[in-house]
Structure 1
Amino acid sequence: METFSTKKSSLAALALGAIGVVYGDIGTSPLYTVQVIFSESTGVPLNQPNILGAISSIFWLLMFVVTFKYVLLVLRAHNKGEGGVMALLSLAVSSLRPQDKRSTVLLLLGVLGAALFYGDSVLTPAISVLSAVEGLQVASPTLAAQVLPISIGILIGLFWVQRHGTHAVGRFFGPVVISWFLALACIGVWQISQAPEVLQAIHPQYAWQFLQSRGAGVFIAIGAILLAVTGAEALYADMGHFGRPAIQLAWLGLVFPCLILNYLGQGALLLHHPEAVNNPFYLSFPEPLLIPAVILATLATIIASQAVISGAFSMTRQAIQLGFLPRMRIIHTSASESGQIYMPSVNWALLIAVIIVCLAFQSSSALASAYGIAVTGTMLITTILMFIVMCKRWQFPLWLAGLLTAVLASVDGILLSSASMKFMQGGWFPVALSVVLILFMTTWKKGRFSLLNGIAQSDPKLLPFIESLAHCTLPRVQRTAVYMVSNLETVPQALLHNLKHNQVLHQHNLFVNVTFEEVPFMSAEERVRVTRLAEGFWQIQLRYGFMQHPDIPQALRSVALDGKTLDPFTNSYFLSREIIVPDVGGAMPRWRDQLFSVMSRNASSAVEFFNIPANSVIELGSRVQL
C-alpha cells in the first residue's frame, strides 16, 4: 500500500508541475480566441446560432486535436522518454534503413518543424503578454495608450531574469496556473448559470452547421478557432520533464474541463450581452474582480512565455548536438536538473524579435493573424513523422497507419490552409522567419560536411603517420596530450603544428572524438570506447545523446591506459581552429560560403562547449578553403 501511495503522490506532483509548465500556453488561449472569432476581420455575424456554433467548434477541436491526437496518440511516441519534433525526427529516421532516401526528406521536415517552433517562441510571449495587459483598457479606457509600453517592460523583465534560471520560480508555476484554471472554471460556471442554453454547444451539430454556413469564408473562421489549440505541441515537447501519465492526468483532470467551462461561459455572456464582444474574456468578470483578473492573467501569460522560451533553449541545444547549428554558450542554471539551461545569444535574439513583433503588430488581435501558421505547420509535420513511427516502430498495419494519418493530416491541412488565409495580414512573419532559420541551419550542416570532407582529403592518414613516428628521436614530455578531432582517420592539424613548431611528443597522445547520437541520452557504460593505436597513442570515442551536455575531463577520468587511470592535472588539450576562406567553385554558392564563414567565426569556443579547463588549452589555427 505504501508503494502504491508513493506512486500516486509522485504522479500528483508531476501533474502539478505539468500544469504549471506544459499548459501555460494553451491555458491562456481564452484571453483572445473568442474575441478574434467575432472580430471584423473574420466577418462572422454575432447571433445565437453563430455563438453556439463557434463554441461547439472550439470544444470539438480541443477534443480531437489535443485529447485524441496529442494526449492519446502522439505522447506514445517517445525517444527514451523525450518528446518534441527533434526527438520524433530522430525516432522516425532511426526507424528507416541507413540508405533510405526518405531520411533526407524527414531531416528537412524536422528542420522546418524546428524553425516553425522558433516562430512560435517569438509570437507566444508577444501575444500572451499583450492580451493579458489589454485588460487594463477594459478597466479604464484611458490606459489604452499604456498597454504597449507596459507589455514591452514586462517582456524585457521576463527575458532579463532568464539568466537566473527557472529553478527558483519553478515551485510557484503550478499553484499560479492552477489558480488561473480554477478562476477560468468559476467565472465560466457563473456565466453559464445565467444562460444555461449555451450548454447545447456541446452537441457537434452546432459546429457542423456553423462551419457549413460560412461558405467560402469557412477558412477564415477556422483560422480564428484554431487559436484555441495553440500550445498543443508543448504537451509533446515537455514529455521528458514530466512523463506521459502526468501530462494526461493534468489535461483530463483539470485543464480540459476548466477551458471548456470558460469557453462556454464566454458564449453565455455573448448570448445575453452581445456588446461584450470587444473583450468577452475580461467582461465575463464582475467589475470588482477585473483588476485581480488582469494581474492573474499577466502572471499566467508570463509563465506561458517562460515555458516556450525554455523550450527554445532546449530546441537549440538539440539542433547543435545534431549538427544543424554552430556551438553556442550554454549555462546550466540548476545543479540537479540538467534540462534547465540558459543560452544568452538565443535569449537576447528572442527578446529583440519579440519587441519588434510587439511594435509592428501593436495588439493581440493583430498578432493572432501571424500566430496560426507556425502552430499548424508544426502540427502537420508531427503527423507526417508519426506515420513513419506507426509503420516502422509500432508495426501498425499499413491501412491503419494510413487511415489515422489521413484523418489527422486532413484536419492539420485544413487548419494550416485556414491560417494561411491571413498570410498578408501577418502570417508571412513566421514563414519568413522559418526561411531565414532554415537557410542558416542547412548552410551550417552542409558547410560542416564540406569542411570535414575537405580536411579528410588533404590531411595525412592517421595510422601510417603514427607508424612513421615509432622510430623518431623527438623528446617525450611526461604529460598527456588530448587532441580533439572530428575525424578519427586523419592526423589533426594541432598535432602537425605541435610537431613542427615545438619539436616534441607527449608520453600519452589521445585522439578524442565526440559524437551525438540520435537518442536523447547515452548511459555512462555506452559512452567511452578506447582503441590502442600504437605505443603512446590511443583513439577515444565519446558518445552523447542530443539532450546531454558533453564534459570531456569528466569522461576521461574513467579511461585507463595500460592499466593506469589518467591524471586530469597533467592533461594538455590541443584544439584546431579552422579559419574558413571562401573559394570559387565549392559545394555551395560563394555567398553561402561567406555566411558559413561568419557563423564559424562566431561559434562558441570548444573550450566552454566541452567544459575543458581554459588554463589547459593550446589552440592552433589553420586556414581552410571551402
Structure 2
Amino acid sequence: MADPVQQNEADGDEGIEMTEPEKILKERKISWAKLRRIDSLNLEAGRVSNVRGHSAKVDWGTTLNLAFQSIGVVYGDIGTSPLYVFSSTFTKGIKNNDDILGVLSLIIYTIVLLPIAKYVFVVLLANDNGDGGTFALYSLICRYAKVSLIPNQQPEDRELSNYRLDTPSNQLKRAQKIKEKLENSKEAQVLLFIVTILATSMVIGDGVLTPCISVLSAVSGIKQSATSLNQDAIVGISVAILILIFSVQRFGTDKIGYSFAPIIFLWFSFISGIGLYNLFKYDVGVLRAFNPKYMIDYFKRNGKQGWISLGGVVLCITGTEAMFADLGHFSVRAVQISFSGIVFPALLCAYSGQAAYLTKFPDHVLETFYSSIPHTLYWPTFVVAVAAAIIASQAMISGAFAIISQSLSLGCFPRVKVVHTSAKYEGQVYIPEVNYMLMIACVIVTIAFKTTEQIGNAYGIAVVAVMVITTFMVSLIMLVIWKTSIWWIAMFFVVFGTVEIIYLSSVLYKFTQGGFLPLAFALFLMMVMGIWHYVHKERYMFELRNKVSSNFIRDLAMNPHIGRVPGIGLLYSELVQGIPPIFPHFIANIPSIHSVLVFVSIKSIPISKVAMEERFLFRQVEPRDYRMFRCVVRHGYKDVIEEPEQFERQLVEHLKEFVRHEYFFLEGGPNEQKTAPPPEAVSLIDSSLLAKDGKVGGSGLSTVHIEESLQQQNTPCISSGSIHAVTVARSTNSSSRIISGPIQGAEDEIQFIQKAMDNGVVYLLGETEVVAEQKSSSLLKKIVVNYAYNFLRRNFRQGEKIMSIPRGRLLRVGMTYEI
C-alpha cells in the first residue's frame, strides 16, 4: 500500500515540470512522515557524490609506478631484517650444520605463510576505503556494528559516499546474530577497544625499537674494517644517527621521499646479488631447505632450544604489518606486485646466500651479513645498509605519528599538535611532542641494551603481538562483514593463529632478556589512552544527559535583557545530539548573543575521509527568527582540520545553501500549497545538496577574550565559574540588540548571514574541568579523573591550539563537570 504522504505529494505534482534541484528536494520532502519517528540532528543528509576512492580502478602504468614507490615507504623494515636474523637465532653458535638448513626452512615458510598467504592475499583486502592498520579494522567494524563506546552514531552517516559498503546479502543469520551480540554486550565492546589500543600501542612501540635495532645492526658492520672500534663507540655512532633521524622529522618524509624507493631498490639488488653469489660459490645445496622435512628434523634435534630460537626466526618478518598500515598511500594491487615480484625473491636470495656461507664458516654467525659480503663490495654495501636502516626507521616513526593522529579522532589520546607535512601523501604527519618522546626513548634503549640481541628479543614480542590481534580482528570481519564460509574462517583463524601463538610463546620466553620492554611501552600507552578515552566518554555522556531543553531557548528568545551583537558566534562542543550545557553558562556570565550563532560539533567518522560537499550538517534551532543553528562538521580520521579563515568560509557558504534549501521547503516548492511541513521535518536538509565553493568577506573583528577562574559551587552535577575580566569590543546593551522581525525570504536571510560574516567571527570555547563526583565515586575513579586525566589535560595542548583558533577572536568560559 502506498504511503499517504507520498501519494498526496505525487498527486500534487502531476503535469508540473521541475528543475533537477527541485526534483531532488521534492524526493526528500516526501519522507517527512518517516523522519518524525527518529530523533537525530539531520536524517536526510549525505547526498552521494562521485568521490573517487581507493577502490577505483587505475591503469597498469599507475599501478606499477605505485608498486615501485611502495618499495621505499613500506619495505625498509623487512628489507633490513637479513642484517640480524641469523645472529639473533643462533645466539649460542651453530652446533650442527644441518641446523642451518632447518632455520633456513623455517625462514622460507614463515615468509610464505605470514607475509604472503596471510597479508598479501587476505589481510590487505580488509581495508577501510583503502586504508589499513589496526585502527582501520576497528573503524570498519564500528561502521557495521554499533560497538563504539561513544554513542554519537547517526543514521545519516551511513549515507556518506565513503561510508557506503559493498556488502553481501543480509540473509545469513550468523552475521546478524554476531552483530547483535556485539551491540548488546558491553564487555565485548570494551574488549574490542582494549585489543585495538593494545595493537596501536605495540605499533607505536615499534617506532622506538625499529630505529634502535636497524641503525645499531647497520653501524655494527663497520667493525669489519675498523677493528679498533669497541661496542661503546658503535653505540655512540648509532645514537648520533638516531638523534639526526628525529631532528629532521619536522621537515617531513616527503622532502626526501623521492630517494626512498631507489635506495631500498638498490638495497634489495645488493642483498639478492650477494646472496646469489654466496649461494653458487659456497653451497647451492642449501636450497634443499624448501623441503619442510628439515624443519621437523631441526625441532627433533634441538627440542626446547629449537622452540626458543623461534624468537630470532620471527625477526625475518618484521615490518610485515607495515604492508597493511601504509596501504593508504598506495593500492592493494601495487603492494601485492611489489612484495611478490621484488621483495620476496630478494629476501629468499639473501637468506639462502647467508645459509650457504654459514655452511663453510659457521663461526661467523654473529656477523653473518657483513662477513658474507665480497671484499670489493663491502663499503658500498655498508653505506647502502646504513641508508636503508635510516629509511626503515623513518617509515616506522612516520607510522607511529599516523597511528597517534588516528587515535586522536577516536578520542583516546591526549591532544597533540598534528602537522601535515606532505601534500602528496595524506598520511605523512609530524607530531612534535611525540617525536621528542620517541627520540629520548630510542637513545635510552640503545645505550641500555647496546647489542641487537636483547633489542631483538623485545622487537619480536611487538611484531608477533600485533599479528595475533590482526588475525583476531580480520576473523571477526570475515564473520560479520564478509560473511565468508565458516570453514574458510576456521582455516584462517586456526592456521595463522596457531603459528603466531607458537611464535608469541617463544618470544615471551625471553621476557626477562629484553622482552619486557614492548610490554612496558604498551602498558604505559594503554593506560594513557584508556584514561583519556574513559573520561572523554564520561564527559560526553554528561553533556548528553544535561543538554539544553527547547524551553530554555524559547525563554531566551523572549528575554528582553539578552543583547545581540553583530557578527557570527561559533560555539564549539563535542555533543552531536543537542545543545551543550555550557551554553546557559555563557548566557549567565555574558548576557548577549551574536546576531548569528552556530553550535559547532567536530565529529570524527569511522572512515578515512569525508568529501567536502558532505561534511556539514545543519539544523535550525527554534524560534527561527533567533538565527541559531546546530552544525555537525564530519571528519574522517585522515582529514585535515582547515585553518580558521578557510573553515569559516566553508561553513558560511554551506550555511547559506542550507538556508536557501530550507526556505524552499517552507514555501512548499513551486506551484504547491503554502503549508509548512511538520516542525520535526523543518531544517532536515544537508548542505551538501548543491554545495558550491565561494569566497566570503573578511573579519575585521576586535579582541574578544575572557580569562576565567573556576570556583566550584554546591550543585550536584554542574559547577559554574566566575569571570575575572571580560573585554567585549561591541556594545551588549539592549539598544544594540539585533532583532530581525518577521522572516521575509531566503535571500534576505542569506544577506543577513553574509553581513554578519563581514562583521567578523568569534569562537566560543567552553573550558570544562572534569572531576569525579565526591559522594558516589570510588577512590580509583577519583585518582583517574582528578589527578591522572587532569595531569594529561594540563600538560598537553588545549583545544584552541589544536584548532588553531586566533587568540584575538577567542572567548572562553570555564565550567566544572562532576561525573
- How far the C-alpha of 1:6 sits from its partner, in A, is 8.4
1:190 counterpart residue number: 277
Contact 1:461–1:489 under 8 Å retained in 2: no
- CA–CA separation in structure 2 for the residues paired with 1:466 and 1:417: 61
| Per-residue CA distance 1:35-93 (angstroms, 9 max, x = gap) | 111112xxx63432111111111011000011000011100111111100110122234
Q: TM-score, normalised by structure 2?
A: 0.73
| Cα distance, 1:336–1:230 mapped onto 2, change above 3 Å | closer
Alpha-carbon deviations, 1:563-620, whole Å to 9, x = none? Answer: 4265376211100112344554437522212101111223323223234344322122
Larger radius of gyration: 2
Q: Distance in 1 between matches of 2:291 and 2:358?
A: 19
Whichever residue aligns with residue 625 of structure 1, its letter is: E
1-structure distance, mates of 2:314, 2:577: 52
2:755 matches 1:574:
no
Question: Which residue in the other structure is 2:265 paired with?
Answer: 178
2:635 equivalent to 1:586: no
RMSD: 2.0
> Are residue 392 (structure 1) and residue 484 (structure 2) matched?
no
Deviation at 1:169, TM superposition (A): 0.3
Q: TM-score, normalised by structure 1?
A: 0.95
May I ask how many residue pairs the two structures share in their alignment? Answer: 618
- How much has 1:402 moved relative to structure 2? 1.7
Quote how far apart the aligned CAs of 1:214 are.
Answer: 2.2
Against the structure 1 CA distance between its residues 100 and 212, is the aligned structure 2 distance closer, same or farther, given a 3 Å change threshold? Answer: farther
Is 1:608 aligned to 2:660, yes or no?
no
Greater CA drift, 181-190 or 515-524? 515-524
Q: Give the alignment of 1:135-150 within 5 angstroms.
A: 135-144=221-230, 145-150=232-237
Of 537, 544, 552, the residue aligned with 2:635 is: 544
For 1:64 and 1:161, locate their aligned partners in 2 and report how far apart those are by CA, in whole Å: 37
Give the conservation status (yes or no) of the 8 Å contact 1:25–1:230.
Answer: yes
1:344 correspondence with 2:439: no
Q: CA deviation at 1:208?
A: 2.3
Whole-angstrom CA distance in 2 between matches of 1:498 and 1:351: 43
Checking the alignment, whether the CA contact within 8 Å between 2:568 and 2:598 is kept in structure 1 is yes
In the alignment, what sits opposite 1:163? 250
Is 1:71 aligned to residue 120 of structure 2? yes
| Conservation of the 8 A alpha-carbon contact between 2:606 and 2:637 | yes
Q: CA deviation at 1:493?
A: 5.6
The CA deviation at 1:96 is 3.3
Counterpart CA distance in 1 for 2:269 and 2:411 is 43
Q: What CA deviation, in whole Å up to 9, does each residue of 1:358-411 have, x standing for no partner?
A: 111111122111111111000000000011111121111122212211111101
466-475 or 259-268: bigger deviation: 466-475
The one-letter amino acid paired with 1:219 is W
For 2:558, what is the secondary structure of its paired residue? Answer: coil
Distance 1:475 1:461 in 2: 20
CA distance in 2, matches of 1:494, 1:240: 38
Cα deviation, residue 273, structure 1: 1.6
Q: 1:84 to 1:568 in 2, by over 3 A?
A: farther
Question: Could you tell me which amino acid in structure 1 is paired with residue 797 of structure 2?
Answer: S
Q: Which amino acid letter does the alignment assign opposite residue 470 of structure 1?
A: A
> Aligned runs of 1:13-412 on 2, under 5 Å?
13-40=65-92, 45-96=94-145, 99-101=183-185, 102-144=188-230, 145-194=232-281, 195-412=283-500
Task: Note if contact 2:573-2:599 (Cα within 8 Å) is conserved in structure 1.
Answer: yes
Aligned residue identity for 2:565: V
Q: Deviations over 1:177-209 (max 9, x none)?
A: 000000001100110111211221222221222
| Distance in 2 between residues matched to 1:69 and 1:336, nearest whole Å | 29
> Offset at 1:541?
0.9
Identity among equivalent pairs (%): 32
After superposition, the C-alpha distances for 1:338-358 in whole angstroms (9 at most, x for unaligned) are 322110011111111111111
Per-residue Cα deviation, 1:87-141 (whole angstroms, up to 9, x for no partner)? 0122234333552423332111111111111111111110000000000112222
Paired amino acid for 1:298: V
Whether 2:414 is the aligned partner of 1:414: answer no
The corresponding residue for 2:537 is 449
Q: Indicate conservation of the 8 Å contact 1:492/1:576, yes or no.
A: no
- 1:189 is paired with a residue of what secondary structure? helix
Pair 1:203–1:427, CA change in 2 (3 A): same
8 Å CA contact retained: 2:415, 2:797: yes
Structure 2 portions without partners, runs of 5+: 1-56, 148-182, 661-749
Indicate conservation of the 8 Å contact 2:80/2:214, yes or no.
yes
Instruction: Pick which of 460-469 and 403-412 moved more.
Output: 460-469
Amino acid at match of 2:229: L
Q: Which amino acid aligns with 1:579?
A: E
Q: Which has the higher helix share?
A: 1
Query: Of residues 545, 550, 556 in structure 2, which corresponds to 1:469?
Result: 556
What's the offset of the Cα at 1:554? Answer: 5.4
Which has the higher mean CA deviation after the structures are superposed, 88-97 or 224-233?
Answer: 88-97
Question: Which residue does 1:556 correspond to in 2?
Answer: 651
Unaligned runs of 5+ in 1: none
Give SS of 1:78's match.
coil
- Give per-residue Cα distances to partners, 1:17-36, cap 9 Å, x unaligned: 11001000000000000111
**1:26–1:104 CA distance, 2 compared to 1 (3 A):** same
Deviations 1:287-342 (A, max 9, x none): 23222222111100100000000001110011110111122111121234332211
